Amino acid sequence: MKRRSVLVGLGAAALIGAVPFSASAAEWPAKPITMICPWSAGGGTDLLLRKLAASLAKETKQTVVVSNNTGGGGAIGHAAIMRAPADGYTIGMITFELNSLPPQGLIPFTWKDFDPIMRINVDAPALTVKADSPMKNLKDFADYAKAHPDDVTIGNSGPGSVWHIAAAMMADELGIKAKYVPFDGAAPAVTALVGGHLTAVSVSVAEVRSQVAGGNLKMLGVMGETRSDLFPDVPTFSEQGVKATFGTWRGIALPKGVPAETRAKIAKALKAAYDDPEFQEFAKNAGLALAYQNDKDFTAFLDKNANDVHRVMLSLGLAKK
């Protein structure tokens, strides 16, 4: 019976406390913050956001709740961020799919409908083949592909996914033809390559990391701007004369309309959370390539990325227009 009276008391308190209070910029954060994750609980993006949320909570001394609004290949969550109240208490994590969904006609909005706050990481793909393959670099791969035009299969993580686009960019730059085999995520594609059922995969360095370290697979080149911290011996595409950089990214954005003053406060708090040693260590262990950018740089980055993605998707026949 005791528990009941306590809860009844709580209920009564709630009715009194529920009077909405307006929070001005000066006092942000005056109440709990919600962070929207467009991907499901327990996944890589979710874990990253939960760690960042924990650091943000430490920083702001406020409760930070992570809410997973998933579905539609990211469409549902991004829409939820866009439609959230612009009071600074709902912050969203945006991911690469924000730029690949619009060309497919799957969402009626673009990154321009958000206020980007900061970029968190960029993970570059690598062209990876079996370790016992005679190919040693991108040129060998291109030569092989030209000699066997019907045999080259490149596995990726799904139709229209970031690594599908990466594979098409690679083939385009190398001037070869290949069959793109979409799998349900990166892991099964990597498994198929280890089993010798594919010629190559075009997934991220982190996703082939253990197989490369274990001696089953080898990377011919990474598509990042710089070499990967995990494998500093593997040259980039640019170093091999193929001028192309690409990668998936994650970042933080707000719905349009948050006052500039509040936005600055949020950005500052998030940067502090990002710099939290605990968060940094987590990202390092997870093999994520952290790549902070502030709001201005991130905005410019998003603009270029959206154009690149659109162009490649058109050439793949994945874009509607």
Partner 1 sequence: MKRGDFVAGAIGVAIGGGALFMAADFPADVVMKIGPAFFPDMLAGLFLICSAALMVSAALAKTVPGVVEDPPPVRGLSLENGILRAVVTVIAVIAFVVALRPVGFLITSTVFLTAMMGLLGLRKPVLMVAVSLGITAGVYIIFEKLLGLTLPAGILESVLY
Partner 2 sequence: MDFALLYHSFGNVFVPSVMLVIAFGVAIGITIGALPGLTATMGVALLVPLTFGRPPLESLSMLLGLFCGAMYGGSISAILVRTPGTPAAAATVLEGYPLAQQGQAGRALAMALFASFCGGLSGALIMTFMSPLISSVALEFSTVEYFALAVFGLSVIVSISGNSILKGIMAGLFGLLLSTIGADAISGYPRFIFGQMDLFEGPPFIPTLIGLFAVSEVLANVQITKQIVRVKTVVDRYFPTWADIKISAVTIARGSLIGTFIGAIPGAGGDIAAFVSYGETKRVSKHPEKFGTGAIEGVAAAECANNACSGGAMIPLLSLGVPGDAVTAVLLGAFVLQGLQPGPLLYKEHIDIVYNVFASLIVANFAMLIIGALGIRLFAKVIMVKRAILMPAILVLSVVGSYAMRGDTFDVYVMLVFGVVGYFMQKHDFPLSPILLALILGPMAEANLRRSLVISGGDFSIIFSRPIAVGLLILAVGSLIASVYNHRKIQNRLAAASGLEGE
Q: Which residues pair with 122 in a beta bridge?
A: 249
- Rounded least distance, CB 136 to partner 2, Å: 21
**Ranges within 262-301 binding partner 2 (CB under 8 A):** 282, 285-287
Binding site for partner 1 (CB under 8 A): 1, 3-4, 7, 10-11, 13-15, 17-18, 31-32, 41, 50, 63, 65-68, 317
Helix (H, G, I), strand (E, B) or coil at 231: coil
CA–CA separation, 140 and 173 (whole Å):
14
Per CB under 8 A, the list member of 75, 168, 171, 267 interacting with partner 2 is 75
Contacted by 209, from partner 1, partner 2, none: CB < 5 to 8 Å by type: partner 2
Backbone angles phi, psi at 161, to 5 degrees: -80, 170
CB of 36 to partner 1, least distance (A): 10
Does residue 153 bind partner 2 (CB under 8 A)?
yes
Would you say 192 and 198 are in contact if contact means Cβ atoms under 8 Å apart? yes
10 binds, options partner 2, partner 1, none, Cβ within 5 to 8 A by partner type: partner 1
Binding track, positions 178-207, relative to partner 2; x by CB under 8 A: -xxxxxx--xx-xxx-xxxxx---------
Contacts of 15 (CB under 8 A, 6+ apart): none
Contact residues for 95 (Cβ-Cβ < 8 A; gap 6+): 38, 39, 45, 74, 248, 249, 250, 251
SS3 202: coil
Q: Which of 196, 114, 209 is nearest to 151 (CA)?
A: 196
Q: Which does 182 bind (CB under 5 to 8 A by kind): partner 2, partner 1, none?
A: partner 2
- Tell me which stretch binds partner 2 (CB under 8 A): 39-47, 85-93, 136-144, 237-245: 39-47
Out of partner 2, partner 1, none, what residue 7 binds, judged by CB under 5 to 8 A for its kind, is partner 1
Please give the size of the binding site for partner 2, defined by CB under 8 A.
Answer: 54
The CB-of-61 to partner 1 minimum distance in angstroms stands at 13
**Which residue stretch of 11-19, 102-110, 140-148, 232-240 sits at the interface with partner 2 (rule: CB under 8 A)?**
102-110
Handedness of CA 228, 40, 47, 183 (dihedral sign): negative
| 190 touches, from partner 1, partner 2, none (C-beta below 5 to 8 Å by class) | partner 2
DSSP one-letter string for 3-41: HHHHHHHHHHHHHHHTS--PPPGGG--SS-EEEEESS-T
Residue 59: which residues within 8 A CB-CB, separation 6 or more?
Answer: 269, 272, 273, 276
Q: Which two tokens stand for residue 14?
A: 């709630």
Binding site for partner 2 (CB under 8 A): 40-44, 47, 50-51, 67-73, 75-76, 79, 104, 106-107, 150, 153, 158-160, 179-184, 187-188, 190-192, 194-198, 209-211, 213-216, 282, 285-287, 318
